[in-house]
Amino acid sequence: MANRPTVTESLHELTRNMWWCWHPEVWQIFESVDPGLWRETKQNPVAFLQRIDDEQLAERVGVGPLASRIRQAVRRMRNYVGAAGPRTNMAAGPLHRAPVVYFCAEFGLHESLPIYSGGLGVLAGDHLKAASDLGVPLVGVGLFYAEGYFEQGIDDEGNQLEFYGRTDVDALSIRKRVGDDGSPMVIEVPIEDRSVAMHVWQAQVGRSTLLLLDCDIDANPPADRQLTTQLYGGDQQTRIRQEVLLGVGGVKLLERLELRPGVFHLNEGHSAFATLQLCARLMETEQIPFEEAKNRVAKKTVFTTHTPVEAGHDRFRPEMIDRALGGLRERLGLDLRRFHGLGRVDMDDPDEPFCMTVLAMKMSDFRNGVSHIHGRVSRRMWRGLWPNRRQSEVPIGHVTNGIHVSSFLAPQMKALFDRHLGVGWMQQIEHPETWEGVADIDPGELWEIHQGLKARLLDFVDRRVQQQTAPSGDGDGQVVPGSGMRQDILTVGFARRFATYKRADLIMRDIDRFRRMVNDADRPIQIIYAGKAHPADEPGQQLLRRIVEKTTDPDFAGRVVFLADYDLNIARYLLQGVDLWLNNPRRPQEACGTSGQKAVYNGVLNCSVLDGWYAEGYDGANGFAIGDGRELNDTLRQDELDLRGLYRVFETQVIPLYYHLDDDGLRRRWIERMKWALLSLGWRYNARRMMLDYLHEAYLPAVGATMNRGG
Ligand SMILES: *Cc1c(COP(=O)(O)O)cnc(C)c1O
């Protein structure tokens, strides 16, 4: 055949679209070529291909089964990217002319692109992937942080060390957008009394596009080049400037690309300045007053709020807003009172700071929280914006978050589902009937798969612990032990950002009781922790220290482990391999929480406070509940109450159930619970269901389409 690409070329083709980052069968190809290099390059195929010797590669993949696997993967990718899509694609009809533009300050697609810090970013990445899968036209807009979020190290005293390294852009599946003349496209944003120039990085995420603005270019003076270097780094000044760049810059970018969005989705308030730039443009092009422009912008704007935690809502002194936004207020024709009022609950309270969430609420017609509880909490929190309405009528709804299943599902579990749920189950994942086949899964087979994944996790933990504790310098020849964790012990996972409300140390607050539980002669437990504390969050770092101390305390050594530098890679290992996922935030502060959803699909049971998604998903038999959802005003007493609930559920339910063996040696009761979790939760807590909710409840109404759901 003429022009047939060589296998090596096909391998390169696979890396150009980030489609690979949710297809483990593609990773397995690289892994079989050179497992050591694959790990060294942090599962990054672009870096892998740069580092491998061409001849060695050609020799390895040129013939035989690998060659055919590569060709098959390329065929699948091309089919996927080119496909017209399933019927939902037709439902998305009007969006093909006018796509959804999705603004977010962070995107978590893969560990090799470290521009995320936690759940918000991972959710945004999942949103892009789900839109792609469903054929919903969607373009993500964010910032490119050359140093990303920090890499975490831990010193001998358990202190968090923060490292910032520059991401090697040549080793990413992204490229710079160029203009007609072939040079990089430049977007200029007025900020304060000057203009900041940005280049644009583009990543293909299946059929979705991600655009990332980057200040670090020669055209800017040194100080401005740093503006987008770090995610959530710097002070309030840096933060507000980043938000101007994201919001105003994002809209200017869309104009430059002549992209006419049907919907603007603001994921979190960081990007809310976008609405002001949109209004200013409308007023200039159509000669309409601000109020009319505002109404028209709001009709197309969807705002998702993500946290009830006060500190999670950016607030700035009004003077900072005036300054940062350059001449935007004048373009909008607003006096200071009205301008500042856009970010205030009470327009006439001069002491009220300008809140980005308030701005987003006022500038959008579609507003939602991210779980049933969070919807209610948000209505209470923001009722001041609608003083004439009863709380239940405050116009904030909810769309419960869901995870992109292919990104987190262990291939071994996928193979099991492929056998039992029928072909194409992933395209019908949102229907309860799809999951009925779980009932027929042989408990022994499910357990064996889980044990395999657990062994894989414990290997990984050993490797990481050895790396973390390897003596630097003169420790030559010293053998570093692994973690000492055991396959036969009930293994608990706890990994997430170390924000204090998540209470990572809750289970050890009664240290004697915890020690007894961990060291029980017959029924012990072991816990694996991971998570970063924000560099400015001293209490969060203290929490981390308290846990790291236990890992070297002889009473807990080998039973409590902390893995440094939590990222998507660690998340996959943990969520596929532990027995139990622990989640004990202070209710109702966990707006949704998504890590526990990743656990569900891998047959890992949740043990959680009834908050966020779990409060609506838990049915008494598909996991374990800490407490009964009671909320106290006094946080100390709340913590005590939850602590008692936590020990109670461990001692009376989790531990007995896990260690109960049937006569034939199988943990049937535990396995039945794993199956029931899949059956009762699998259809609901995925990003496909979430995307369909957004499509029908927000995106289509926003473009004025009325569509029948289902069908
Ligand atoms: C899913 C995920 C999160 C979110 O975890 P929560 O339990 O919802 O806080 C954070 N970080 C990473 C790397 C994740 O994969």
Atom 3 (ligand 1): residue with closest C-alpha? Answer: 119
The percent of residues in the chain predicted with pLDDT above 70, rounded, is 96
Q: What is the pLDDT of residue 482?
A: 77
Q: What spacing in Å lies between the alpha carbon of 433 and ligand 1's midpoint? A: 28
Whether 117 and 104 have beta carbons less than 8 Å apart is answered as no
Cβ count within 10 A of residue 31: 16
For 49, the enclosing helix (H) or strand (E) is helix 45-51
Give the CA angle between residues 561, 118, 449 to the nearest 5°.
55
Q: What is the pLDDT of residue 611?
A: 97
Entry field: residues in the chain: 711
Of the candidates 285, 254, 314, 310, the one whose C-alpha atom is nearest the C-alpha of residue 100 is: 254
Which two three-digit tokens encode residue 341? 């009022």
Q: What is the pLDDT of residue 78?
A: 95
- Tell me the one-letter amino acid at 371: S
The overall average pLDDT reported for the chain is 95
Q: What is the pLDDT of residue 539?
A: 97
Q: What is the pLDDT of residue 83?
A: 77
Give the CA angle between residues 186, 280, 217 to the nearest 5°.
20
> Residue 472 pLDDT > 70, yes or no?
no
Q: Using the atom order of ligand 1, give the atom closest to the CA of residue 594.
A: 8
CATH topology for 87-401+692-708 is Rossmann fold (3.40.50)
Which two three-digit tokens encode residue 570? 């660690």
Domain ranges of the chain: 7-82, 87-401+692-708, 405-685
| Same fold across 87-401+692-708 and 405-685 | yes
Q: What is the pLDDT of residue 479?
A: 62
With a CB cutoff of 8 Å and minimum separation 6, the contacts of 432 are 683
Q: What spacing in Å lies between the alpha carbon of 320 and ligand 1's midpoint? A: 32
Of the CA atoms within 13 Å of residue 456, those in its CB half-sphere come to 16
Atom 7 (ligand 1): residue with closest C-alpha? Answer: 595
112 lines ligand 1 (CB under 6 A): no
Q: What spacing in Å lies between the alpha carbon of 123 and ligand 1's midpoint? A: 9
Q: What spacing in Å lies between the alpha carbon of 122 and ligand 1's midpoint? A: 7
* Confidence band for 475, pLDDT divided at 50, 70 and 90: low
The model's pLDDT over 2-36, given as tens digits with 9 standing for 90+, comes to 567 789 999 999 999 999 999 999 999 999 999 99
* Confidence band for 711, pLDDT divided at 50, 70 and 90: very low
123 lines ligand 1 (CB under 6 A): no
Q: Using the atom order of ligand 1, give the atom closest to the CA of residue 612.
A: 8
Mutate to test the pocket of ligand 1, among 21, 115, 496 (most ligand atoms within 8 A of CB): 496
The model's pLDDT over 64-81, given as tens digits with 9 standing for 90+, comes to 899 999 999 999 999 999
Q: What is the pLDDT of residue 450?
A: 98
567 lines ligand 1 (CB under 6 A): yes
118 lines ligand 1 (CB under 6 A): yes
For 266, the enclosing helix (H) or strand (E) is strand 263-267
Mean pLDDT computed over 220-246: 96
341 lines ligand 1 (CB under 6 A): no
Which two three-digit tokens encode residue 193? 């009394």
Of the CA atoms within 13 Å of residue 331, those in its CB half-sphere come to 17
Distance CA 430, CA 446 (A): 22
Mutate to test the pocket of ligand 1, among 21, 594, 609, 611 (most ligand atoms within 8 A of CB): 594
402 lines ligand 1 (CB under 6 A): no
Mean pLDDT computed over 180-202: 97
> Residue 92 pLDDT > 80, yes or no?
no
Which two three-digit tokens encode residue 469? 């504790």
Distance CA 162, CA 426 (A): 39
> Residue 710 pLDDT > 60, yes or no?
no
CATH number for domain 405-685, candidates 3.40.50.2020, 3.60.10.10, 3.40.50.2000, 3.40.50.2300: 3.40.50.2000
Helices (H), 606-699: 612-617, 635-649, 655-659, 668-681, 687-694
Of the candidates 157, 203, 205, the one whose C-alpha atom is nearest the C-alpha of residue 176 is: 203
The model's pLDDT over 276-296, given as tens digits with 9 standing for 90+, comes to 999 999 999 999 999 999 999
125 lines ligand 1 (CB under 6 A): no
Q: What is the pLDDT of residue 555?
A: 95
* Confidence band for 1, pLDDT divided at 50, 70 and 90: very low
Q: Using the atom order of ligand 1, give the atom closest to the CA of residue 572.
A: 15
> Residue 709 pLDDT > 70, yes or no?
no
Distance CA 400, CA 687 (A): 9
Of the listed ranges 124-133, 154-163, 476-485, 534-543, the one predicted with least confidence: 476-485
pTM of the model: 0.96
> Residue 87 pLDDT > 70, yes or no?
no
568 lines ligand 1 (CB under 6 A): yes
Q: What is the pLDDT of residue 63?
A: 78
594 lines ligand 1 (CB under 6 A): yes
Max intra-chain CA distance, the chain: 80
> Residue 119 pLDDT > 50, yes or no?
yes
